[in-house]
Chains A and B, each alone.
Chain A
């Protein structure tokens, strides 16, 4: 079973929400739609569900065109960011309602509901109304309703965004396990790169209504095809700096000319954009390495406990660095930071990837 979007686009009120998109999702896979808010994740999901009709293109379900089919006739399930349950029904009736509508027998429904409720730890709350539950339990109820249906396509639209941190961690671990056995296609929208990496499977990075890259999650993370993907799939976003290479050596942004490191020796002369992730900035270079040195000014530090975010100013460019431990640094002070050339991605001026960082190639 496959779900194929074939040149699907959506335009609302003259504004393009989804540029023509072609995407094929395989059965039994977890597919993460990753992108900032307004990137078009929800719109794309609504098109997949059949809640919105695409302006162009077709949706093929097992090679059958389902573009104009009613939502009720498709075998899909959807969980929203908001906790959507039927407030007037008990949790049991909520979970049972899709099965009832499919005309299954009462005993069948009972076994299945209890099975799913057990899996989602809802058994003690079956007699309660959804609004009497905590946020996490309400969302689990919505997940249970999506699960009992055995739908071929399960859409999860930022299901954990409205939960507090601890519940989110808990459910995030449970979701892949819960859905693993069902063998359906899962589509999971999120704004957090971290969540995409934790869920594994495939990832499609979205930006301004365009899918910039689709592939296995670790591969997309390591080999972003362009600067947009790299920016979307990195939290905090990837740092970029202009790179100029000529016969004398190379210079970064407004910095001085330095010797070309071994890893970039093969790069033809010219102008590029270099990118590196915040966690690859270090304050102390490793022994034996020949790191690039940057003179920066510290704008702000954010201390989260085990980590410190450094907001750096490198000749007018804003970078973010992520270093371990709590650092006692003064705002406005000059700071020498180091980046291993092995961590450098090289992009062409138009954004396309020229050379993957050697560390990612090795992994």
Chain B
């Protein structure tokens, strides 16, 4: 049997010498720019540019920042970072922020977990309205609540405390947390609950031992959203604090000294502010899409 007999019918009729020209095609392809890589490259470039510029600035001296245009630091310096990490008025900003952010995340989750469970498992009078009504709290900008919160917390002596900011942020985080968690919980078959009760689990034990591990990714995503909102929110946290619980974002906006803006230190503070968020995102990166869809993927 000859080689040609193995060809598929019609293979010989393709115009042009397909096999002979293959070598030429291959050499040409090497120079052809890959369209998707190009677009992605440009996208990443624009995405990373501000962050790069921030890092770039944080490693320069003030003189260089205000001087000539330079793509990378000519005189590499870590003095800006040293200043932040040694000066209490700077690093306490991070500590304060972290304290109220963690407090807020814990409170939001502790409140939202049972609420979401109830919404996902029971039907009671007005449950759908209540579920929707939860979201209305998110429809107003935080600025609306700045004044009432300020007055309320001042009058009960909570002004300038971490718990004040944490509580203020739960107003926005609890509804979102309930929505996200409810979506995740709905995905768990009700029969698991019943099987657990039949097996003899009490509700509390079932919830902690069996149910929470099942919605662990949902809890992670919810914690992320709570963390992120609280971490980046500036208006309420600045209004409700003065000295003792002053968040880092507020510190950054108040660094105009007699000698003008300290560009390098501000940039370093900016870099350090990005880090916790980036870390948290890294841990929940696989579930974020589901979280944005409120667990309903």
Contact = CB atoms under 8 A, between A and B. Distances in A.
Given A88-B210, A88-B213, A88-B214, A82 B191 contact: yes
A84 B198 contact: no
A72 B194 contact: no
A240 to B, nearest CB: 38
A86 B210 contact: yes
A97 B213 contact: no
B196 interface: yes
Contacts of B192: 84, 86
B293 to A, nearest CB: 22
Interface string A147-160: 00100000000000
Interface string B89-117: 00000000000000000000000000000
Closest 3 CB pairs of A and B: A88-B213, A101-B200, A98-B199
22 contacts: A49-B194, A49-B198, A51-B194, A51-B197, A70-B197, A71-B194, A71-B197, A72-B198, A72-B200, A77-B198, A78-B194, A80-B191, A82-B189, A84-B191, A84-B195, A86-B210, A87-B213, A88-B210, A88-B213, A97-B199, A102-B200, A145-B199
Interface of B: 189, 191-192, 194-202, 210, 213-214, 216
A3 interface: no
B200 A76 contact: no
Contacts of B202: 72
Most chain A beta carbons < 10 A, residue from B195, B196, B199: B199
Contacts, number: 50
A89 B199 CA distance: 14
A76 B191 contact: no
A161 B197 CA distance: 23
A193 B197 CA distance: 31
B198 A76 contact: yes
Given A78-B194, A82-B191, A149 B199 contact: yes
Given A97-B199, A97-B201, 13 more contacts: A49-B198, A51-B194, A51-B197, A71-B197, A72-B201, A80-B191, A84-B191, A84-B192, A87-B213, A89-B210, A101-B200, A142-B195, A149-B199
Given A80-B191, A84-B195, A101 B201 contact: yes
Contacts of A88: 210, 213-214, 216
A76 B195 CA distance: 10
A76 B194 CA distance: 12
A77 B198 CA distance: 6
Contacts of A49: 194, 198
A138 to B, nearest CB: 13
Most chain A beta carbons < 10 A, residue from B192, B200, B213: B200
